[in-house]
Structure 1
Amino acid sequence: MSLIILGVDPGSRITGFGVVRVENGKIEHINHGVILLDADQGFPARMTELGSAFREVMEKYKPHQVVIEKIFLGKNADSAFKLGHARGVVMYEAGLGGATVAEYATRLVKKGITGNGGSSKEDVQAMLKAMLNIKAINRIDASDALAMACYHAFELKKKAVLQRAVSV
């Protein structure tokens, strides 16, 4: 059976997405890109625009599962709140589209992709290009989203192996 996973790096101005298919234990790159929101619009209008654009991504790829970056509290509380709103919009649209939602911390994803939770975004991107056999990932937001999708595929495979080991 084929499983479509949509990874998302949510943002209030740029939201990255990455789509992979998992079939027979192999991860295949489908597509990746970004949703660019109009920075001249007010925040509520951008969230409406994000919802509409993300709905189109959901309709185009029909993912079974959506994977989203867990929120982290940096130095700027306002940024964290805006990120939370963007995550909410994405989760809402994922639910409407019939997908289940998973969340992972960025450090965990970096560790799973490169072996080091403190890896640079460029190191993660280089590993993804090699792993998925793609030439370029033009936006770091799309790369982060692809990393989410691939990490989730690894976690699902690990869970399946553990279940088989326990049920023997």
Structure 2
Amino acid sequence: MTRWRALPAAPAAAVVRSVRIIGIDPGSQRTGVGIIDIAEDGRSSHVFHSAINLLGAEDFAGRLKLLFDALGAIVTEHAPQEAALERVFLARNPDSALKLGQARGAAICALAQHGLAIHEYAAREVKQAVVGSGAGDKSQVQHMVGLLLELRGKLQADAADALAIALTHAHVRASVARLGVARQAWRRQQ
């Protein structure tokens, strides 16, 4: 006579927690937005990307309001837990640099209004993290972001940059966690 014994119950499926990161590539004409999820095992997945066109506003103040409102709506809809933003670079044209700074300010305020801490990355840091060279060009960033997030078709440049910023933050936060050091100690001065 064969005796059957009950097999132990299968373990409950492990709950994979993830962190949702929003990346912002601020601009005074278009602002790139990219949102990714990072699973505990380090895998990244695409959630959302867009380029907010600001040229439809009547004046520059209207562009800033449009940017603030659009980012607020995206944050409300997708509920990111962390935010990353491209740090200001020195521009040759002072007027362009001032407008970019004001667009960054509107983006920072929209993120801060939703209680998000903001992490900033220089363009060279982003290119280094995504392309492997701080001197990579926009087409290389677009290509690598598409590969890393398994996206098909060509990405709009501003949206690709925003996703690259989010991926950079994911890489830095994972490295900082592994090393157990403060982020400020991790960063090299750019």
TM bin, normalised by shorter chain, reads over 0.9
Give the letter for the 1:17 counterpart. Answer: V
Residue in structure 2 matching 1:102, options 105, 109, 119: 119
- Give the Å deviation of 1:137: 4.3
Alignment RMSD (CA, Å): 1.3
- Give the Å deviation of 1:139: 1.1
Q: In percent, how many aligned pairs have the same letter? A: 35
Count of residues paired in the alignment: 164
Would you say the 8 A contact 2:71–2:110 is kept in 1? yes
Residue in structure 2 matching 1:148, options 165, 181, 185: 165
> Please, what TM-score do these two structures have when normalized by structure 1?
0.93
Which fold has the larger relative contact order, with Cα–Cα distance below 8 Å and residues 6 or more apart in sequence?
1
Residue in structure 2 matching 1:37, options 54, 59, 80: 54
Return 5+ residue gaps in structure 2 as ranges.
Answer: 1-16, 182-190
- Give the Å deviation of 1:163: 1.5
Would you say the 8 A contact 2:146–2:155 is kept in 1? no
- Runs of at least 4 residues off by over 2 Å: none
> Please, what TM-score do these two structures have when normalized by structure 2?
0.83
Give the letter for the 2:62 counterpart. Answer: A
> CA–CA distance in 2 between the matches of 1:22 and 1:100?
17
- Give the Å deviation of 1:80: 0.6
Equivalence for 2:25: 9
Equivalence for 2:85: 68
> CA–CA distance in 2 between the matches of 1:142 and 1:2?
22
Residue in structure 1 matching 2:142, options 110, 119, 125: 125
Equivalence for 1:28: 45
Larger Rg: 2
Equivalence for 2:104: 87
Would you say the 8 A contact 1:13–1:39 is kept in 2? no
The 1:40/1:22 distance shift into structure 2, 3 A limit, reads: closer
Return 5+ residue gaps in structure 1 as ranges.
Answer: none
Residue in structure 2 matching 1:115, options 132, 135, 150: 132
* SS of the residue 2:173 aligns to: helix
